[in-house]
Copies of this chain bind each other. A is one copy, B any other.
Amino acid sequence: MIYLAVVGGSSCTEQEMELARETGKEIAGRGAVLLCGGGSGVMEAASAGASQEGGIVIGILPGGSAREGNQYLTAAIATGMGEARNAIITRTADAVIAIGGEYGTLSEIALAIKMGKPVIGLRSWRLSPPHGVKDGIIEKAGAEEAVETAFCLINY
């Protein structure tokens, strides 16, 4: 089983939502499990896309109730741990696709890179690492390309 996480803002632009939906579709279409934070915005759009393709969608929620997840989840995990759940998402994922996003998303990008997971960015954060530190985000323009790159780097 391959696990791909889609991370991004709980509120987002129409364009980001569309990108997230397509990314979710691509992930499910290739038979991978979609992992996300289980909330709204980018998370919900990716979940909807994957769900539409009949894929498995897992939401790792910050709160204490499995009822708080979006409607497209195959299953929700109520961690009750707040933002510490971001580390569970990146730990489980084989690769992470970031779409837009603010500081929660940046923390997931950073945790994923720290854990050695490939991170693909779609209109998301751009990093200017300090001297001697590599930029760990691979920027792509479209959903298909992003998911293809993720699979490529996992198999590698």
Q: A125-B130, A128-B126, A136-B103 are in contact. Are A82 and B75 (CB under 8 A)?
A: no
Task: Please pick, from B77, B80, B109, B111, the residue contacting A60 in the complex, using a CB distance under 8 A.
Answer: B77
A43 CA / B124 CA spacing, docked (Å) = 30
Copies of the protein in its oligomer: 4
A49 within 8 A of B: no
In the complex the two chains form, is B82's CB within 8 Å of A101's CB? no
Interface size on A, residues (CB 8 A): 49
Task: Please pick, from B1, B79, B101, B109, the residue contacting A88 in the complex, using a CB distance under 8 A.
Answer: B79
Q: Type the 1/0 row for A46-87, where 1 means its CB is closer than 8 Å to any CB of B.
A: 000000000010101000101000000011111111111011
Nearest chain B CB to A70 CB, angstrom units: 12
Q: A103-B114, A104-B114 are in contact. Are A80 and B77 (CB under 8 A)?
A: no
Which of A74, A111, A114 gathers the greatest number of chain B CB atoms within 10 Å? A111
Q: A58-B77, A74-B56, A103-B136 are in contact. Are A83 and B130 (CB under 8 A)?
A: no
In the A-B complex, the 4 residue pairs with the closest CB atoms: A107-B110, A84-B87, A106-B110, A103-B114
- Please report A residues at the B interface, Cβ cutoff 8 Å: 1, 3, 33, 56, 58, 60, 64, 66, 74-84, 86-88, 90-92, 94, 100-104, 106-107, 109-111, 113-115, 123-130, 133, 136
